[in-house]
Amino acid sequence: MWFDSHCHLNDEAFKEDLRAVIDETLQAGVSGMMVVGYDLPSSIRAIELAAAYNMIWAAVGLHPHDAKDWGPEVRHELEQLLKEPKVKALGEIGLDYHYDYSPRDAQRRAFRELLELAGEYGKPVIIHNREAHGDTLQILSETGVPDAGGVMHCFSGSKETATACIKKGLYISFAGPLTFKNARNLAEVAVDVPLDKILIETDAPYLAPHPFRGERNRPGMVPLVGKKLAELKNLAVETVMEATFRNSRNLFKLDVIEHETDA
C-alpha cells in the first residue's frame, strides 16, 4: 500500500472525473492520501473530500501565493477548519520567491504566524519552499517547527538544506521531479536522506512523473516516485513502500482517526 502525502484532488482539474481518479488510485495500490488546501475554499473542499472518502485526509492552509490575504479573518476561518476531525496538518504554507505573487514581507509574516498557529493546535506543517531556502531555514530557526513536526513538500533543495530541515524535526518529501531525466542533484539528495525521514507525493495535478511528464498528474502515479526512490537507494520497492507509508502515518497521526472512522 502506497500513501500520497500531498495532492490536490480539491483542484478544479478533478472536478469532472473525481470518482474515476479515485478508482484508478486504488487500483494503483495507493490506499491513502493527504489532500492539501492552499486557500480557504480549497481547504474546505479538502475537508469535504475527507468526509466522503475513508482513504482521504485533509490539510488546511494558505499558500504563499495568497499570503497577501493573511490576517485576523483568514486566521479565524482556518482555526475553525483546524478543529475538524480529519484535518491532520496545517498546509500548505511557506515561501515562494519564484512567482512572488505576494510581496515577500507578507509571505514571511504569514509563514511565521501560521507556524505559530500550527503549534497552538498541535498540528504538523506542510511547507512549500520555492527558491527561498535561506529565508525558509531562517524563519524555521527563529519561529521554530511545531512540536508535531512537519514536512518539506516537493523538496528541491540541496543536501545541506535537507540535513538542516531533518535536524529541525521535518520530513523530506519527494515528488515527480525525482523521476525527471535531469534530476541528478535531487537524486543525490534522495540517496543521502535516511529512509525513515522520507515521504513521497504527487502534488497532483502538477508535476506528473516520468514518463507522463506534462500530463495531468494523479495520486495513482505516486508508485512511480516510490519506485524511483527504491532504485536510487538500491532498496526493494516493498521496503520503500512500507517505510513511506509508515512515515506518513506517524507524521499525520493517522492511527487514531482510522479507528474512529471504523467505529
At 204, the amino acid letter reads A
Which string of x and - marks every residue 168-207 that binds Ni ion (by CB under 5 A)?
Answer: -----------------------------------x----
Closest to Ni ion by CB, 96 vs 203, is 203
What is the closest distance, in whole angstroms, from the C-beta atom of residue 13 to Ni ion in the complex? 12
Closest to Ni ion by CB, 4 vs 247, is 4
What is the closest distance, in whole angstroms, from the C-beta atom of residue 8 to Ni ion in the complex? 6
Closest to Ni ion by CB, 94 vs 226, is 94
Torsion of CA 187, 188, 193, 198, to 10 degrees: -10
Q: Could you give the CA distance from residue 93 to residue 67 in angstroms, rounded to a whole number?
A: 9
What is the closest distance, in whole angstroms, from the C-beta atom of residue 30 to Ni ion in the complex? 17
Q: Tell me which residue has cell 524563519.
A: 139
Q: Which positions from 71 through 130 interact with Ni ion, judged by CB under 5 A?
A: none
What is the closest distance, in whole angstroms, from the C-beta atom of residue 140 to Ni ion in the complex? 18
Contact 66, 39 (CB under 8 A): yes
Residue nearest Ni ion, CB atom distance = 203
Closest to Ni ion by CB, 37 vs 226, is 37
Query: CA of 185: how far to CAs of 71, 175, 178, in Å?
Result: 38, 14, 9
What is the closest distance, in whole angstroms, from the C-beta atom of residue 243 to Ni ion in the complex? 22
Q: Which positions from 3 through 32 interact with Ni ion, judged by CB under 5 A?
A: none
CA proximity to 124, closest of 97, 159, 89, 98:
89
Q: Could you give the CA distance from residue 113 to residue 34 in angstroms, rounded to a whole number?
A: 23
Cα dihedral sign for 167, 35, 178, 30? Answer: positive
What is the closest distance, in whole angstroms, from the C-beta atom of residue 73 to Ni ion in the complex? 23
Q: Which positions from 203 through 232 interact with Ni ion, judged by CB under 5 A?
A: 203
Strand order in the sheet with 56-60: 2-7, 30-36, 56-60, 87-96, 125-130, 150-152, 170-174, 198-200
Closest to Ni ion by CB, 98 vs 255, is 98
Binding site for Ni ion (CB under 5 A): 203
